[in-house]
Structure 1
Amino acid sequence: MKSFLVHYVRPLWLTILIGLILSIIGTLLSVAQPLVIRNLINSLSKEYSSSLLLNVVLLISIPILATVISYVQTFFLSGVGQKITQKLRGDLFNRMLGLHTEYLDKTPPGKMYQSIQDSIIVGEGYIDRELVPAILSFFTLLFIFASMFWMDISLSLVIMACGLITVLLTALTGARVKSVEKKYVDIRSESAGYLQESLENIRTIRLFGGGDKEFKVWKDWLALDRLYWMKRRLIGDFNEKGILILFQSLCLSIVIIYGYIKIRHGVLNIGSIVAFLAYVPMVFQSVSSLQRVQLGTKRVKVVLDPIYSIFNNPAENSGTLKPSLEQKEMGIRFDHVDFNYPNRSEGLTNVNFSLAPGSTTLIVGPSGVGKSTIIDLITGLYDPLKGKVEIAGCATVEWNKKLLRQAIGIVPQNVVIWNRTLRENLLYGLSSAEQITDERINEIIHKTHLDSLVKKLPKGLDEKLGPNAIQASGGERQRIALARALLRSPSILIFDEVTSALDPILTEEIIELIWIQEITSTKLIVSHRLTFASRVDQILVVNPDGTVTAGRHTDLKNNHNLYRKLVMADQFGGSRA
């Protein structure tokens, strides 16, 4: 935790140093005020002297000067936590974008979202409100005890002992604080995931009449959240109000009794006792700050655990090889490839095939046997466990993934349409988006039959499509995905079950778009529809055992039992693959 905080604090060291110096000066002034009161009271018993006037002037001027310094100090120190939070949130999001696909697949989005939100606690909560005040309180205690020891050592030691006991009692509750905080953080993370899932599937909830049940589940989450929030609050109040007030009251009583005895014996004067009475609340105010940072450190360690997990998990292998984006066609080769997803049974076994540059290949097979796995390996989302996947003669593990993916266009089954303008959706992910002219965009729009969508949008290309692309139909969503892929001028173009949710008419329209002249890329089509199987250059049949059989439509139909069944099922409309 120490090195983590230092990493984010170091760039702000000068601002923090100036703020701390000003704070220390302000602290010295505050600590000096009880001494001025002491001297003022003692001077009252004497005849008028210059010291009386001096102490009155100091008594008035010290608070004014301390207030001015406090404002300047606030200018430097306020916002330090906010700046750290912004940097941490930016780093977290950037790190998430580069994490290995395996981590992203097994980690709920709600948990990662909560980690970004919790980073506010680290910066603005812990650093601004707990750590910085605790550092200042430490210096305050040093100056206070120096002043008190100068007046009376014995009484100072008693007050110091009470302060130490208060801090130690707070430390004893540390394990309980950490346990409660961990449970509280887990509840917030899981409830955020539940809320996200429910809102994303609210139509399903309505259609199945699950509203009452989901509302009850949400109320249960809220009750748990309230329970552990109360536990956190009670522990904090017990330390900061219960223990603190008890020992502060004890110290004040000791000062009064001890002072009475010492005054009777002529050892201490009334001014010194008044100074001690002023110092005791200041001591325990500083002790309270130390209590808060003790409890806050336990809590922030729990919050930082999932953040550490994100930073410590390996990023995907980026590789160093940079493809030539001028190369319009790329061949693909699987060489004795084995792959299994973590904790899942389906995978690929000893897969061998080659796709010639500019060729068209159809990938078929039953559901769940690994058709989309082939796409994951080609796009570099995963690396093979054995063997190698080559693109343009080089293994994918050696390629720079970001640049490789710029050379690949993909039309997925579930198209993501952002709540942005149609233009932004079409140009999404293009590193050279500003170089794409309106003429080029309109050309692709015409080829993909998106003209009618553009015409019905009030602002055309610059109209926002709305949440969940409410202004676009299912077929239009697929055409947007195809246009987005074509604008990349990809060397490899992948169609992943693009017709699975479309009616027969739309299916035929989308299939015909695959063969438009514009597309000269190496094409891969993952589909359970085989009506166009005779038009492709090669068919890959993914078998239930994870092996892959390559061939042409006629040969496979005559010699491959599974493929023959898939053809018959498709002809009779019984395919569910």
Structure 2
Amino acid sequence: MAIVYGRYVRNITRNLLDKFANISKSVEERLGNIKTVKGFCKEQEESKAYEILLTDALNLGYKEVQARSLFFGLTGFSGNVIIISVLYYGGILVISDALSIGALTSFILYAGYSAISINGLSNFYTELNKGVGAAQRVWEILDRQYSIPLHTGFVPKTPPRGEIKFENILFSFPSREESIILNNFNLTLLPGETTAVVGRSGSGKTTISTLLLRLYDPLQGQVLLDGIDIKELNPIWLRSHIGAVNQEPTLFSGTIRDNILYGLNPGTKVNEEAFADAIRKAHVDEFASQLPNGLNTLVGQRGMMLSGGQRQRVAIARALLKNPAILILDEATSALDSVSEELVQNAIEQVSKGRTVLTIAHRLSTIRNADKIAVLENGSVVEQGRYEELITREAGAFRELVRKQAFMVNS
């Protein structure tokens, strides 16, 4: 009975921990997006959804208590029945002079000690199974193997020149293997040049930067850096030479200065001159100087104390401080007003010199001066060239994008 009960408790404990994990995830997600919740008047719905999650966890807790009560109730009842049976049969033996009262008393005393020990073992077995149920999740995580090991691969002695080639790439995310994102994708990025990738939403533009950072490996094809497949390179070395500014930059709780210094590679000392140059080129100093604590101003969780444009400029400064050979700009000026966008765009053009720059573009103003524009459709490059060349093609894909106002053209 103890074995059956132990297995049952183990499964309940595991399911209960899963419920608690879902509750924590739900609370963190909703509180992190509280503005959206309030904006759509979803307070009551979210409260009800949270109540449902708590009720599910509570019901599992009830099941555990019921099983525990049944198990210990049965074991206690069984023990009492055994003691009564021993007293009854022992009394008969005493009456018939087959057993002395002292021997019967000694037997009952020793049996009681044994029962207490067995009960302790039952409790231990129960808690052990609860611990095993909880530890199974930890073991699953510990037993996982990195799909992309961090500490293996070739580490070149010199920084990369920055020539990047995507050759016959086929890619889909592991969670959606049936949905092909990139198919027969080919593109070359030359050192010192800016390549802009444009296309409709969902065409796979941002996925290109994901593959370049080697957050995922393609199903087929290869990504080459200076003629070397990046699968052969050490991932940490590779990423240390790539700076990225995303469309929705992520900041950490701390000060503005801390978030900018986050861009330094491990083991690199702070160069105050380079730091000052980065905040000046990204125009961080313009808004930081107006804050009471300047660069030591706390940005809050995910940078919520700053505006979208301010977060964007902090992220740009962070990438500039890294001084990478390769720069990825996933619509890095998307959250800026027209004045700030022009200033930052000029700064980006200055720091892009001598670097390989991949720009994921959504609006026309960010790609006019690109050395090459690649148009993406259905996961493949269907057209590439300079802006002046592509815009004059009557039936060209790029001209069609502009005509349909796929880009937000600044007036």
The TM-score bracket by the shorter chain reads 0.7 to 0.9
What's the offset of the Cα at 1:259? 5.1
2:191 alignment partner in structure 1: 357
1:341 aligns with 2:144: no
Q: Is the CA contact (8 Å cut-off) linking 1:363 and 1:539 kept in structure 2?
A: yes
- CA–CA distance in structure 2, aligned partners of residues 531 and 446 of structure 1: 22
The counterpart of 2:239, out of the listed 402, 405, 417, is: 405
With structure 2 as the length reference, what TM-score do the two structures score? 0.88
Larger relative contact order, structure 1 or 2 (CA cutoff 8 Å, min sep 6)? 2
Give a deviation string over 1:348-399, Cα, whole Å, max 9, x none.
Answer: 1222222111211111000001101111111101112112100122111111
Instruction: Give matches, 1:491-502, under 5 Å.
Output: 491-502=325-336
Give a deviation string over 1:290-326, Cα, whole Å, max 9, x none.
Answer: 32344445444443444344334431323411144x5
Give a deviation string over 1:61-117, Cα, whole Å, max 9, x none.
Answer: xxxxxxxxxxxxxxxxxxxxxxxxxxxxxxxxxxxxxxxxxxxxxxxxxxxxxxxxx
1:535 aligns with 2:374: no
- CA–CA distance in structure 2, aligned partners of residues 337 and 285 of structure 1: 68
Instruction: Give matches, 1:359-374, under 5 Å.
Output: 359-374=193-208
Two-structure CA RMSD over aligned residues (Å): 2.8
The counterpart of 1:566, out of the listed 387, 392, 401, is: 401
- CA–CA distance in structure 1, aligned partners of residues 312 and 335 of structure 2: 10
1:322 alignment partner in structure 2: 155
Q: Is the CA contact (8 Å cut-off) linking 1:335 and 1:388 kept in structure 2?
A: yes
Structure 1 residues 519 and 275: CA distance shift in structure 2, 3 A: farther
What's the offset of the Cα at 1:538? 1.1
Q: Is the CA contact (8 Å cut-off) linking 2:192 and 2:353 kept in structure 1?
A: no
2:43 alignment partner in structure 1: 211
Residue identity matched to 1:284: A
Q: Is the CA contact (8 Å cut-off) linking 1:363 and 1:527 kept in structure 2?
A: yes
**Which stretch shifts more, 565-574 or 529-538?**
565-574
Q: Is the CA contact (8 Å cut-off) linking 2:312 and 2:336 kept in structure 1?
A: no
Structure 1 residues 288 and 403: CA distance shift in structure 2, 3 A: farther
2:2 alignment partner in structure 1: 170
Residue identity matched to 1:410: A
1:20 alignment partner in structure 2: none
1:190 aligns with 2:22: yes
- CA–CA distance in structure 1, aligned partners of residues 406 and 83 of structure 2: 93
With structure 1 as the length reference, what TM-score do the two structures score? 0.64
Residue identity matched to 2:193: S
1:227 aligns with 2:59: yes
1:420 aligns with 2:254: yes
State the secondary structure of the residue aligned to 1:351.
strand
Residue identity matched to 2:155: K
State the secondary structure of the residue aligned to 1:362.
strand
For these two proteins, the number of residue pairs brought into alignment is 404
What's the offset of the Cα at 1:333? 0.8
Q: Quote the sequence identity (%).
A: 30
Structure 2: segments with no counterpart, 5+ residues: none
- CA–CA distance in structure 2, aligned partners of residues 292 and 535 of structure 1: 73
State the secondary structure of the residue aligned to 2:9.
helix
State the secondary structure of the residue aligned to 2:403.
helix
1:524 aligns with 2:355: no
- CA–CA distance in structure 2, aligned partners of residues 549 and 297 of structure 1: 63
- CA–CA distance in structure 1, aligned partners of residues 243 and 353 of structure 2: 11
What's the offset of the Cα at 1:258? 5.2
**Which stretch shifts more, 369-378 or 466-475?**
466-475
Residue identity matched to 1:556: L
Residue identity matched to 2:75: L
- CA–CA distance in structure 1, aligned partners of residues 109 and 273 of structure 2: 79
State the secondary structure of the residue aligned to 1:445.
helix
What's the offset of the Cα at 1:519? 5.2
- Name the structure where strand makes up a greater proportion of residues: 2
Residue identity matched to 1:415: P
Residue identity matched to 1:250: V
State the secondary structure of the residue aligned to 2:121.
helix
The counterpart of 1:246, out of the listed 70, 77, 85, is: 77
Residue identity matched to 1:563: F
- CA–CA distance in structure 2, aligned partners of residues 429 and 314 of structure 1: 28
1:202 aligns with 2:34: yes
What's the offset of the Cα at 1:490? 0.5
Structure 1 residues 281 and 502: CA distance shift in structure 2, 3 A: farther
Structure 1 residues 260 and 391: CA distance shift in structure 2, 3 A: same
- CA–CA distance in structure 1, aligned partners of residues 107 and 255 of structure 2: 68
2:349 alignment partner in structure 1: 515
Q: Is the CA contact (8 Å cut-off) linking 1:365 and 1:566 kept in structure 2?
A: yes
Give a deviation string over 1:459-481, Cα, whole Å, max 9, x none.
Answer: 44444322232432222211111
- CA–CA distance in structure 2, aligned partners of residues 495 and 301 of structure 1: 47
Q: Is the CA contact (8 Å cut-off) linking 2:199 and 2:375 kept in structure 1?
A: yes
Structure 1 residues 572 and 400: CA distance shift in structure 2, 3 A: closer
- CA–CA distance in structure 1, aligned partners of residues 55 and 121 of structure 2: 31
- CA–CA distance in structure 1, aligned partners of residues 108 and 167 of structure 2: 83
- CA–CA distance in structure 1, aligned partners of residues 266 and 13 of structure 2: 47
- Name the structure where helix makes up a greater proportion of residues: 1
- CA–CA distance in structure 2, aligned partners of residues 500 and 348 of structure 1: 24
Residue identity matched to 1:441: F
State the secondary structure of the residue aligned to 2:141.
helix
- CA–CA distance in structure 2, aligned partners of residues 572 and 547 of structure 1: 18
1:488 alignment partner in structure 2: 322
Q: Is the CA contact (8 Å cut-off) linking 2:90 and 2:99 kept in structure 1?
A: no
Structure 1: segments with no counterpart, 5+ residues: 1-168
- CA–CA distance in structure 1, aligned partners of residues 159 and 9 of structure 2: 59
- CA–CA distance in structure 1, aligned partners of residues 279 and 372 of structure 2: 29
State the secondary structure of the residue aligned to 1:388.
strand
Give a deviation string over 1:427-461, Cα, whole Å, max 9, x none.
Answer: 22533465113333122212221113433444444
Instruction: Give matches, 1:96-495, under 5 Å.
Output: 169-174=1-6, 176-240=8-72, 242-257=73-88, 260=91, 265=97, 267-268=99-100, 270=102, 273-318=104-149, 319-324=152-157, 326-327=158-159, 329-342=161-174, 343=176, 345-428=179-262, 430-432=264-266, 435-495=269-329
- CA–CA distance in structure 2, aligned partners of residues 276 and 396 of structure 1: 76
- CA–CA distance in structure 1, aligned partners of residues 5 and 199 of structure 2: 59
Give a deviation string over 1:14-37, Cα, whole Å, max 9, x none.
Answer: xxxxxxxxxxxxxxxxxxxxxxxx
Q: Is the CA contact (8 Å cut-off) linking 2:197 and 2:205 kept in structure 1?
A: yes
Q: Is the CA contact (8 Å cut-off) linking 1:353 and 1:550 kept in structure 2?
A: no
What's the offset of the Cα at 1:207? 1.2
Instruction: Give matches, 1:36-75, under 5 Å.
Output: none
- CA–CA distance in structure 2, aligned partners of residues 517 and 234 of structure 1: 67
